[in-house]
A and B are shown apart, each in its own frame.
Chain A
Amino acid sequence: MLRTSGFTHFTKYCGYSSIRVFPQCKRLGLLMNSGRLSGSPNNYLSVAFSKSVFQSCSEAKSYVFSLPYNSGARHSVFNTVKHLGKNSYSFQSKRPYSQGSSKSTSTPLIKLRTRLIVTCLFGVGILGTWYYVHSEKEKKLQLQRIEQLKKVAIGQGDFNLVDHTGKPRTKKDFFGHWVMMYFGFTHCPDICPDELVKISNVVSILDEDKTLPPVQPIFISVDPERDDVEAMAKYVKDFHPRLLGLTGTPEQVKEAGKAYRVYYSTGPKDEDNDYIVDHTIIIYLLNPDGLFLDYYNRSKTEENIAESIRKHMKNYVKLFT
């Protein structure tokens, strides 16, 4: 009859004092070496064996079952493995053998790792999908904005002006280039110089990034009466070397101003015929298709503007081949 004790034994009734060793089971031999026998012949044999002997409880189970026993019913009772000491385990008998296998610590470890890997892959998959959807949405929004700006139809018309070297220029001459456009006049006290310095600095900032195409800054005069080619040449010298000055006849300037919805109005003339021209203070951004994309007012800093232009360049979608 089988009795279990409170502590960690696997007990087996044995009516003999020794255990027969199966010759083919070297491990069982090991078992015997590392096992401790205790108890008197009429009592119970408790066996403890080291972990290195068996890889799992089910393996240990089958070996213990192969141990010879006297008579009586086979009993099967491993439910838990209790840790006796360093690398020793024994089986605690609790109830009749059932199909449930006791868990050793090694199997959950592998399962945990697989679980972690699967979760991480899943997470990466979700993030990737989200990112893709997000960038597609942004692109769509950007295209929508372009459509809206097209409807506003700023800068749709052409312009016919002359640059500060005397060469005639139209809008087509700038296709393929990003353009920063500013309307002003050379007799401007402070605002135009400030804005042109800002534009020059933005161009320099963007020039530093070799992966970006070069930006073409353009200065168009709203004071054609005084700003002839010579005056423009003299003026643009003080700013970025690529700054191009454009002027023309009053009619040509008026056309250009209308196309870009630029307000300008000549102020009252004083004794020496000097006057100030009131005008909108805006920097226009045109893309390589000549399309008006964005504008920047006096409150935008150089960094703001450079960042905005960089974004536009990245999202640029060629509309016309």
Chain B
Amino acid sequence: MTAPNASERRVCWAARDELWRCLDENKDDMSRCQKLQREFESSCPAQWVKYFSKRRDYLKYKEKIQTEGFEPLDSSAKS
């Protein structure tokens, strides 16, 4: 399959942004954003959907660490 061109990319990114905005408003409650999720999956190649979902998880995790701090693993906190 050929790669998406610029306009296809833009459509995909717009759908992704809509989805993420919905998730931000609903505190990551996926059930509220089903429609946008479906739109997103139809606008973007499957690989990109996976990639962007992973990216969102990563960004959320990064935010969490930055705001809440983190517990080091017990095995490494010896001394």
Residues of A within 8 A of B (CB): 186-187, 189-190, 193, 226, 231, 234-235, 237-238, 270-272, 274-276
Contact = CB atoms under 8 A, between A and B. Distances in A.
A186 B51 CA distance: 15
B3 A187 contact: yes
Contacts, number: 37
Interface stretch (B5-13, B24-32, B56-64, B67-75): B5-13
Chain B contact-residue range equals 10 to 19
- Interface secondary structure of B, over-half rule: helix
B2 A231 contact: yes
B48 A272 contact: no
Contact of B47 (A186, A190, A238, A275): A275
Contacts of A193: 6, 9
29 contacts: A186-B3, A187-B45, A189-B44, A189-B47, A189-B48, A189-B51, A190-B9, A190-B13, A193-B6, A226-B3, A231-B2, A231-B3, A234-B2, A234-B3, A234-B5, A235-B3, A235-B5, A238-B5, A238-B6, A270-B46, A270-B50, A271-B46, A272-B1, A272-B46, A274-B1, A274-B45, A274-B47, A275-B47, A276-B51
Interface in B34-54: 44-48, 50-52
A278 to B, nearest CB: 11
Contacts of A190: 9, 13
B43 to A, nearest CB: 12
Contacts of B2: 231, 234
Contacts of B45: 187, 274
A196 to B, nearest CB: 10
A274 B48 CA distance: 9
